[in-house]
A and B are shown apart, each in its own frame.
Chain A
């Protein structure tokens, strides 16, 4: 029992520490920057014809304008990410480098010190670049890389390396390998306030409040976007903003990771979510509380059994202080052992945790002086609470009471103990419910009809790099019996895809921006999509290049209702006749509802291949062989659409796994506590059980007697856990535009699981107690 106690406390503290590491890591994002508190990110927010627009990137002139207009803006710097383009170094090409254009002052704003090269002049000129040390070694081997050069696809001029930095810290909201000078980029010089893709950061004067700045940005849209609006859309700014809203907002740098909108438009990389930080902090706290409570509970309970020992010691002349000292030091040693056990657990389990959660948590944090101090304080605190009650209570009572064994320790704080059991099972049942809901939602996402068939789709996104050979590849593959059909498109509903937006007008009036898919005549069939009206694109119709297929949502948004066919819509490319309506399919994550979509007949980009069997390996090998046959220096690469789809929910998936693990651990710790309490109760009632058996009580009756009270408490805890869990999980589900309803049986299942676990814990112990030979308990002393 003593060791159960220590194991429980150890597991609790270890889990709490691991979660704390996670939370600290999440909260530490971008804090490596010396001026982290003075850097802010300018973002664009709008609501146009009912469409919410949240973009992390803004137009090219925004940063510089703000710097000019507001004295508290000391500096402005921009990032223009271009993903992972092809980079060539001496005939060797790479496609795995995150590439961004940045302003020359970038390294003054962000603390990414240039360790080789001239920090002042590194990015002043066009076609210069700062790369990470690892990158430099990959490109040029060990040795000085300064002055060496590489090529970016589509550009004649090489880039010259002018600086080397260390790796971007893991807890940063971006991780580029190559920072090229923005000087050579034409779009960076654009003065348009009508579009742009620049993540813009401002360095504020120390002590100035970003909220103040934000409130001063209200006039920007009118001042700068107003004139262009008149010109481009023929609407005055005032008219436009009667129905619509637009404006800029300011985000502190350190909030980007946890608070920015989880969509590819809003952030450079998939970020974290403050919700999960809260959820896990709560779990950590509960875990610690439960473990400590159990520890104290059991220590107190066992101490009660020592009443007799205390009596004897007192009769033998031990004084109060000696007893106090004895109890407290025993408790301290036990707590210390639990702490050491916890530390070992953390060290051993952290790599597994990292693998599970996709994090790279480090132990360093644990050795920080204040953490060590906090843990020591916690040790003292727990041991004082756990040892305190018996120490002060037992050492002060009269020896004769103890010797008479009339001490009914534990019964007098039964109320408190019941409260604690209820608390633990509120947490446990709540967590079981939460894991059930999360798992069901994940299941739902996996099985939801998303409007296309994502299985057996092989995506060769890079096939366009083969030039004319792409069509050769396509025709060869079409001869392959493993292939059902092939489409040529760069628009892919999951994973990396080309993103286009088009400004759409109907009857000369601006309607809204809509994403655009560029497809060929095989797309809809290959992807397993469905036309609900009209026809597919076809080679037979010469004019299909100006026609458009829209999705059901677009038909609704544009007010076409059920007869969209034949309607005319206009965008920058002119008038388009609607020839078909495709059934809505999900081309963004299920967090978002389906947007209106235009599909144009413009075949380009890579290939998407539908295989005729689930085993894709043969087809992949065939495609690879064909690809290599072209003698191109482009390396073969592929994705499976199904994988990409799953990847979209990787954060939730990981959260789910981690939640499962910690829910399990919490339940384990709660069960250890329950087990200890049942053991204690059974021991306390040892004699009573004996008497009852002799008087004719059956095994079942004894077991019921021992479990009844606990089961009552567990039932009470359901009434707290389930409403609370329902409320919190509803909140979580609301972040999905497409979600499950929490059904009654989920609660029944959670209740059953909790009961089963509790009964398993109580059952074994009470069975043992109930089947013991009563004469053991009835030995006359």
Chain B
């Protein structure tokens, strides 16, 4: 088992009232799964993804990731955990504007203390795999949305994470570009065994996955 959420609650206090963002979430994810999270806007999908990604805290419940109890870990350990095992893909790509495609890909490796030669090889490998060798010296602004998201996925994958978290990865893309990214996800999932959890509004995209989790007002339905 890759991760397990038990009775997760998350709330914010506003005007003396407790507003629940997540209510009693229970989730088990096996390695190699491809899960889609769905639900109306504001239902807590991004919140759930951030909790799984350890970018955000929760207020109650237990979260086990591999053999670690995330809820008992210190901030720094948690950061090390997600740094090692999780890759993130965002709706608006979040590439760094001042860096070239190559440099954007290299960045996560810098924080993981890979050697210069290793980094070069890994970046070259990724560029190759995603067919963007010709774009390696361009800046994000010089790429189309689809190409940018391709770089985004490549960056998430470069350090060989066990889990990819993608929050509406195709939200800014047209249907052709979307299909390309989804195809890529399926390939990664099936051929490389990468676990994927994606948030999506589209049934079509959700169909690429093996399981759908529906949220409504922070609750699983």
Q: Which residues of A contact B (CB under 8 A)?
A: 406, 408, 687-688, 690-698, 701, 773-775, 778, 780-781
A339 shortest CB reach to chain B, Å: 38
Is A775 in contact with B112, judged by CB distance below 8 angstroms?
A: no
Q: Is the CB of A695 within 8 A of B111?
A: yes
For B159, what are the chain A residues with a Cβ–Cβ distance below 8 Å?
Answer: 696
Instruction: List, in ascending order, chain A residues with CB within 8 A of B97's CB.
Output: 406, 408
Known A-B contacts A774-B55, A780-B167; A698 and B79 likewise in contact (beta carbons under 8 Å):
yes
> Is A695's CB under 8 angstroms from B141's CB?
no
Contact check, B83 vs A775: say whether CB atoms are below 8 A apart: no
Q: Are B79 and A696 in contact (CB under 8 A)?
A: yes
- Stretch of B23-31, B87-95, B181-189 on the interface side: B87-95
* Max chain B Cβ within 10 angstroms of own Cβ: one of A408, A687, A691: A691
Pick from B55, B76, B112: contact of A694, CB below 8 A.
B55
Using Cβ atoms and an 8 Å threshold, which residues of chain A touch B94? 687, 690-691, 694, 778
8 further A-B contacts with Cβ under 8 Å, apart from A694-B88, A698-B79, A773-B55, are A687-B94, A693-B79, A694-B53, A694-B55, A696-B82, A696-B108, A698-B111, A780-B92
| Complex interface: chain B residues within 8 A of A774 (CB) | 55
Question: What is the bound-complex CA distance between A773 and B95, given in angstroms?
Answer: 18
CB distance from A138 to the nearest CB of B (A): 74
Cβ–Cβ contact B155 & A773, under 8 A: no
Nearest 4 pairs between A and B by C-beta? Answer: A696-B83, A696-B111, A695-B108, A780-B91
Tell me the total A-B contact number using a CB cutoff of 8 A.
51
Which residues in B have some Cβ–Cβ distance to A below 8 Å?
A: 46, 50, 53, 55-56, 76, 79, 82-83, 88, 90-92, 94-97, 107-108, 111-112, 141, 155, 159, 167-168, 171
On chain A, the residues within 8 Å of B90 by CB distance are 778, 780
A688 touching B96, Cβ below 8 Å: yes
Residues of A close to B88: CB separation below 8 A: 694-695
Closest CB in chain A relative to B164 CB, distance in Å: 13
Return 5 A-B CB contacts under 8 Å, by A number: A690-B94, A694-B55, A696-B111, A698-B79, A701-B111
Q: Give Cα A733 to B4, complex, Å.
A: 74
> How far, in whole Å, are A774 and B90 apart by their CA atoms in the complex?
13
Least CB distance from B80 to A in Å reads 8
Chain B residue at minimum C-beta to C-beta distance from A774:
B55
Most chain A beta-carbon contacts within 10 A, residue among B46, B55, B108: B55
> Which residues of chain A have C-beta atoms less than 8 A from B53's C-beta?
694
Query: A773 touching B107 by the CB < 8 A rule?
Result: no
Q: Are B56 and A696 in contact (CB under 8 A)?
A: no
Neighbour of B56 across the interface among A691, A697, A773, CB < 8 A: A773
Residues from chain B with Cβ under 8 Å of A778 in the complex: 90, 94
* Chain B residues near A687 (CB-CB < 8 A): 94
Could you tell me the distance between the alpha carbons of A697 and B96 in the complex, rounded to whole angstroms? 14
Question: B92 and A692: CB pair below 8 A?
Answer: no
Q: How far is the CA of A701 from the CA of B94 in the complex (A)?
A: 19
Which of B50, B82, B108, B141 is in CB contact (< 8 Å) with A775? B50
Is B107 a contact of A695 with CB atoms below 8 Å? yes
Q: How far is the CA of A698 from the CA of B82 in the complex (A)?
A: 12
Contact of A696 among B46, B112, B141, B171 (CB under 8 A): B112
Given A408-B97, A687-B94, is A697 in contact with B111 using a C-beta cutoff of 8 Å? yes
CB-defined contacts of A780 to chain B, threshold 8 Å: 46, 90-92, 167-168, 171
C-alpha gap A695/B111 in the complex (Å): 8
Chain B residues within an 8 Å CB radius of A693: 79
Bound form: Cα–Cα A311–B92 in Å: 21
- Give the distance in Å from the alpha carbon of A696 to the alpha carbon of B94 in the complex: 14
Whether B96 lies near A691 (C-beta < 8 A) is yes
A781 and B55 within 8 A (CB): no
- B83 CB to closest chain A CB (Å) equals 4
- Shortest C-beta distance, A618 to chain B (Å), equals 65
Query: In the assembly, what is the distance between CA of A330 and CA of B91, in Å?
Result: 38
Q: How far is the CA of A701 from the CA of B88 in the complex (A)?
A: 20
Chain B neighbourhood of A408, CB < 8 A: 97
- Residue among A688, A690, A698, A778 with the highest chain B CB neighbour number at 10 A: A778
- Chain B contacts for A688, CB-based, 8 A: 96
Q: How distant is B142 from chain A, measured CB to nearest CB, in Å?
A: 12
A764 CB to closest chain B CB, in angstroms?
19
Q: Name the B residues within 8 Å of A696 (CB-CB).
A: 79, 82-83, 108, 111-112, 159
Closest to B84 in A: A696
Report chain B residues within 8 Å CB of A773.
Answer: 55-56
Q: How far is the CA of A775 from the CA of B159 in the complex (A)?
A: 21
Residues on B with beta carbons closer than 8 Å to the beta carbon of A701: 111
Contacts of A781 in B (CB 8 A): 92
A360 → B minimal CB distance (Å): 57
Q: Quote the shortest CB–CB distance from A705 to chain B (angstroms).
A: 11
How far is B168's CA from A701's CA once the two chains are assembled, in angstroms? 29
Residue of B nearest to A690 (CB): B94
Q: Give the distance to chain A from B148, nearest Cβ to Cβ, in Å.
A: 13
